[in-house]
């Protein structure tokens, strides 16, 4: 308020000086009384306007609606910030609580809404996992994140219920029902069969689902050269010693005439893909030589 009054005095003094000069020029000092009257009237009016404007600006009233734990409370305040409006309303905010707009924000409207999210204990039940967390989070995903639990997908189901501080040790309970993971149709086909080739067998006959018999043998050579033949990527050693590509197919050597390179074939060790060939194919055109790490045991 002092700032506005100080400003008004300066403006009135400056304007009055210019008005006196202006009136003297126009009246040529013929009507000094009228000039002074005009100057005084305008000066007083200007000072009053500035003073009233400053008073009005300093005392702007605002309606603030507080949404807190399902209840609405409306106050009329001269506060310019959310923090001061909360103080005027006598509302206490804990450090763990969340306020929207932020507690340090300015109130930009004469009719504002302030939402308070209170921190409370929440029990999250995710299958066999039970995790309690104290959080102001509201959405299931936010609560799961706060509890250190895997994100919730759009296919998962979530339900809220009121908790018991005695039984649940929480005021709210979130239950997550995870959607069943998608089934990979190749998952079982990539696994070795019950009659899979082993190092002790050395060689065997395997009959595929079409009734075709294949003589199976194994070999252990680096596959870094041929692995780039079918889309690139690296290969790895499966738990049973079979060498597999990035998609899980067993690396197979076969006769290209019957099984062109990159053909998918059935083997006793699961689905395989033809990456290589060998002299054995001349004697056994439908035979398969399966790449393993059984001899060198070097991971390659």
Distance CA 113, CA 102 (A): 12
| CATH number (domain holding residue 74) | 3.10.20.30
Tens-place pLDDT, residues 238-265: 999 999 999 999 999 999 999 999 999 9
Q: Is residue 208 part of a domain?
A: yes
Distance CA 56, CA 13 (A): 23
Domain count, the chain: 4
Confidence band of 57 (pLDDT split at 50, 70, 90): very low
* Packing angle of the helix pair 2-27, 32-58 (nearest 10 deg): 160
pLDDT recorded at residue 7: 45
State the average pLDDT for the chain. Answer: 85
Percent of the chain clearing pLDDT 90 (strictly above):
71
Are residue 108 and residue 128 in the same domain, yes or no?
Answer: no
Are residue 88 and residue 39 in the same domain, yes or no?
Answer: no
Q: Is residue 183 part of a domain?
A: no
Query: Rounded mean pLDDT of 180-189?
Result: 79
pLDDT at 3 over 60: no
Is the model more confident about 180 or about 23?
180
pLDDT recorded at residue 18: 57
Q: Is residue 246 part of a domain?
A: yes
> What tokens does 292 get?
């393993």
Q: Which residues contact 43 (CB under 8 A, 6 or more apart)?
A: 12, 15, 16, 19
Confidence band of 184 (pLDDT split at 50, 70, 90): confident
pLDDT recorded at residue 4: 43
Q: Is residue 218 part of a domain?
A: yes
Quick one: three-class SS letters along 195-256? Answer: CCCCCCCCCEEEECCCCCEEEEEEECCCCCCHHHHHCCCCEEECCCCEEEECCCCEEEECCC
Name residue, tokens 């702007």.
Answer: 60
Q: Is residue 186 part of a domain?
A: no
Q: Is residue 297 part of a domain?
A: no
Q: Is residue 199 part of a domain?
A: no
Are residue 208 and residue 287 in the same domain, yes or no?
Answer: yes
What residue numbers bound the domain in which 30 lies?
2-58
Tens-place pLDDT, residues 105-132: 999 999 999 999 999 999 999 999 999 9
Are residue 36 and residue 78 in the same domain, yes or no?
Answer: no
Q: Is residue 125 part of a domain?
A: yes
Beta bridge partners of 253: 276, 289
Contact 118, 169 (CB under 8 A): no
pLDDT recorded at residue 127: 93
pLDDT recorded at residue 189: 86
Query: Rounded mean pLDDT of 281-299?
Result: 94
Are residue 230 and residue 275 in the same domain, yes or no?
Answer: yes
pLDDT at 204 over 70: yes
């Amino acid at each position: 308020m002092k700032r506005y009054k100080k400003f008004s005095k300066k403006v009135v003094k400056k304007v009055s000086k210019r008005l006196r000069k202006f009136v003297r020029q126009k009246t040529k000092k013929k009507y000094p009384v009228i000039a002074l009257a005009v100057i005084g009237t305008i000066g007083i009016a200007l000072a009053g306007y500035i003073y009233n404007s400053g008073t009005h600006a300093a005392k702007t009233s605002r309606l603030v609606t507080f949404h807190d734990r399902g209840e609405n409370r409306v106050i009329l305040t001269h506060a310019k910030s959310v923090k001061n409006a909360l103080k005027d309303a006598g509302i206490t905010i804990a450090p763990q609580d969340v306020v929207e707009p932020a507690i340090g924000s300015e109130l930009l409207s004469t009719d504002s809404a302030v939402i308070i999210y209170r921190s409370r204990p929440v029990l999250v039940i995710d299958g066999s996992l039970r995790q309690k967390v104290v959080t102001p989070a509201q959405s299931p995903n936010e609560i799961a994140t706060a509890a250190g639990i895997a994100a919730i997908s759009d296919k998962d189901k979530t339900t809220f219920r009121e908790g018991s501080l005695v039984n649940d040790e929480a005021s709210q309970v979130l239950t997550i029902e995870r959607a069943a993971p998608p089934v990979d149709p190749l998952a079982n086909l990539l696994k070795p069969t019950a009659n899979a080739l082993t190092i002790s067998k050395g060689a065997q006959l395997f009959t595929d689902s079409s009734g075709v018999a294949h003589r199976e043998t194994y070999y252990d050579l680096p596959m870094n050269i041929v692995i780039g033949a079918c889309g690139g990527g690296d290969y790895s050693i499966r738990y049973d010693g079979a060498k597999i590509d990035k998609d899980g197919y067993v690396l197979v050597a076969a006769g290209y005439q019957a099984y062109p390179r990159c053909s998918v074939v059935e083997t006793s060790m699961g689905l395989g893909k033809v990456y290589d060939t060998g002299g054995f194919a001349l004697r056994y055109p439908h035979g398969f030589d399966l790449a393993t790490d059984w001899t060198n045991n070097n991971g390659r």
